[in-house]
Structure formats: structure tokens, C-alpha cells
Amino acid sequence: MQRWLGPIDQLGYVVDDIEGAMGHWVERLGVGPFYFLPSPPMQELRYRGRATVARIAVALSFSGPLQIELIQPLDDEPTPYRDFMAAHGTGLHHVARFVDDYDGAVAGYAERGMEPYFGGRGMTEKQRFCYFDPASIPLPPGLLPLNSLVKRMGICSPWCLRV
């Protein structure tokens, strides 16, 4: 079996009440505390080929080495988070890996027929991310696709932001 995807670094959940979700994870699951970003800056966002100015709230924590990300859409701008909520409600939205060579990783995915459909820059110029359409990811039936790729940043401690 070929292992080209790399380790899973993050599970991302779409929620409709981020403060309630943080409380649930801390009190019921023992994961936390969370680093809460009420509306982090996101730039150069493109969703399915079009610019978007979507706003989200984000909360980040770790369960061992696995980062947990909670995402709450804050407006009606087009995003995969809105689409997911419309189709499925709240829940696990993506699994992600963090990479040092973002452009190389995206090129590697493109060689396998996968193209990003949502992406942009996060809180710094160096933070880049993208999501891949699960339909374009060649996996056997029943397996959860990795659909998010994030450029690793080295500007924060491992606890606050590894992306």
C-alpha cells in the first residue's frame, strides 16, 4: 500500500455554536483549553473559482498530537462550511495534514487528479490552506478522504497554532 498522504494532523468540525462546542469538548471529552479566534483574518479566499469574503469563528485545541479545529460560519458568504451545514448539519467537516512545502504538496495532489476548490491565506502571509473536493480523491469506497491541506507555520508554540 502506498502512503503518500502523510499523517492526519487535524480534524475540523463545523458547528453552529462555537462557544457551546468548546464547552462540550472541554467538559465532556476532556479536550482543551481552546485558543479562540472570534473572526480571524482570512485573505485571498477563493471558493469554486470565485473570490469570497467569508468570515468564520475558529477555536483550536489539541488531543495529544492531533489538532481539533471548530469552525462556525459567521455570514452567508459562500464557503464549504455553509455547504456542509446545508447538506449535513454540524459535524466532522475535514481531516487535514500540515506541510512544510505547500506548493509541492498541492502539485503532488494535482498529479493524482485532485484540485483544490477552496483556499486562501490565513492569519499571516505564510499561512496558506486549501480543500480538495472529496469526489476527486481516489480512495476505496467507505474510507474518509483527506480533503484539506495546510501550510505549517513556525511562528507560534505548538500549542497555539501549528498550521
Backbone angles phi, psi at 24, to 5 degrees: -60, -50
Model confidence, pTM: 0.83
Count Cβ atoms below 10 Å from residue 4 Cβ, excluding itself.
9
In the three-class reduction of DSSP (H, G, I as helix; E, B as strand; rest coil), residue 68 is classed as strand
Domains and CATH numbers, the chain: 10-151 (3.10.180.10)
The per-residue pLDDT for 157 is 23
SS3 track for 122-158: CCCCCCEEEEECHHHCCCCCCCCCCCEEEECCCCCCC
**Helix spans in 6-161 (H):** 18-29, 80-88, 102-111
- Distance from C-alpha of 24 to C-alpha of 115, rounded to nearest angstrom: 34
β-pairing verdict for 91-99 and 148-151: parallel
Q: Is residue 19 exposed (0-12), middle (13-18) or buried (19+ Cβ within 10 Å)?
A: middle
The per-residue pLDDT for 15 is 97
Taking 70 as the pLDDT cut, the residues of the chain under it are 1-5, 134-163
The per-residue pLDDT for 139 is 54
